[in-house]
Amino acid sequence: MLAPSDFALSIAEAARTLNKPRSLDDTLQTIVEVACNSVPGFDHVGIATLAKGGDIETRAYDGELVVSLDELQHELHEGPSSAVLRDAETIAVSSLRLEHRWPHYVPRARAAGVRSQLAVKLYLDRGTLGGINFYSTTSDEVSVDAQAMARLFATHAAIALGHAQEREELNEGLQSRRVIGQAIGILMERYQMDEDRAFAFLVRASSHNNLKLRAVAEELVAEANAR
C-alpha cells in the first residue's frame, strides 16, 4: 500500500497540475496524463465526456485500445464505463475473466487483452460530466489504493473539467456577441436602420432559415468581408 504521505503528495500534485488555466482539450489530455502517473496498476487511461444531448465521446486517451473499448461499451450499453455514466459512481473489476455482468462486452474486452478495469464518474452538483476509464493489460487486480486514488483524483479532475467548460462557454458567448455586433453594424450601415431594427432583422433571418442567430451573423460578416 502507498504510504499516507506519498498518497497525499500525489493528489496534491494532480490538483496543482489540473487547475492551471488551459483549454478544455488540453485539460482533458492533462487529466489522462496525470491519471496515468497517479493511479497505480493501469497502463491505459481515457476520458469519456457526456454532452447535454446525451452523446458520448472519448475526448482524451493514451492509445487506440481505450477508444475502441469505450465505444464498444457505449454501443452495447454494457461495461464499467457505461455504468458510471448512468448511475454508478465507481466500478472496479479485478479479474475480467471472472466477470459475468456484461456478457457481450467482457469476451471482446478480454480478446483485446484487458485483464482488469476501473471506471470513475466525473460529476459536479450540476450533473455528470463524464468518466475516467482505466484499463490494465498486465494485472488482474484493482487494488484498494488504486480505487481510493482514482476517486480522490476524479474529484479534482471534475472541478478542473467544470472550470474548463465554463471558460469555453464564456469564450463562445463572447465570440457570439462580437460577431452578432459586427453583423448588426453591417446592417445598420447597409440599410440605414437603427440597432433595434437590425437586430430584429437578424432574428427573423434566423427563424426563417432555422439557423442559430450566431450562424446567420457569421454568414453575413463573412459575406461583407469577401466583398
Q: How confident is the model at residue 2 (pLDDT cuts 50, 70, 90)?
A: very low
Pick the CATH number of 4-165 from 3.30.360.10, 3.10.200.10, 3.30.450.40, 3.30.70.3280: 3.30.450.40
Lowest mean pLDDT, pick from 89-93, 168-172, 194-198: 168-172
**What is the pLDDT at residue 152?**
82
| Encoded amino acid at 186, one letter | I
Contact 1, 149 (CB under 8 A): no
pLDDT at 89 over 90: yes
**What is the pLDDT at residue 23?**
73
Q: How far apart are CA 104 and CA 79, in angstroms?
A: 9
| Mean pLDDT computed over 54-59 | 86
What is the CB-side half-sphere exposure of residue 32 using CA atoms within 13 A? Answer: 23
Contact 39, 2 (CB under 8 A): no
| Mean pLDDT computed over 204-223 | 90
Q: How far apart are CA 80 and CA 142, in angstroms?
A: 13
Q: Which residue in 156, 91, 173, 88 sits closest to 128, CA to CA?
A: 88
| Mean pLDDT computed over 190-217 | 90
CA 57, 14, 116, 86 torsion: positive or negative? negative
List, by residue range, all CATH 1.10.10.10 domains of the chain. Answer: 170-226
**What is the pLDDT at residue 16?**
64
Residue 120: strand pairing partners? 90, 132
| Mean pLDDT computed over 207-221 | 90
pLDDT at 1 over 60: no
**What is the pLDDT at residue 177?**
92
Tell me the pTM.
Answer: 0.75
Query: In this predicted model, what pLDDT tens digit does every residue of 19-49 receive, in sequence order?
Result: 666 677 887 888 888 888 888 899 999 999 8
List, by residue range, all CATH 3.30.450.40 domains of the chain. Answer: 4-165
CATH code reported for the domain at 170-226: 1.10.10.10
Q: Per residue, what are the HEC states of 31-88?
A: HHHHHHHHCCCCCEEEEEEECCCCCEEEEEECCHHHHHHHHHHHHHCCCHHHHHHHCC
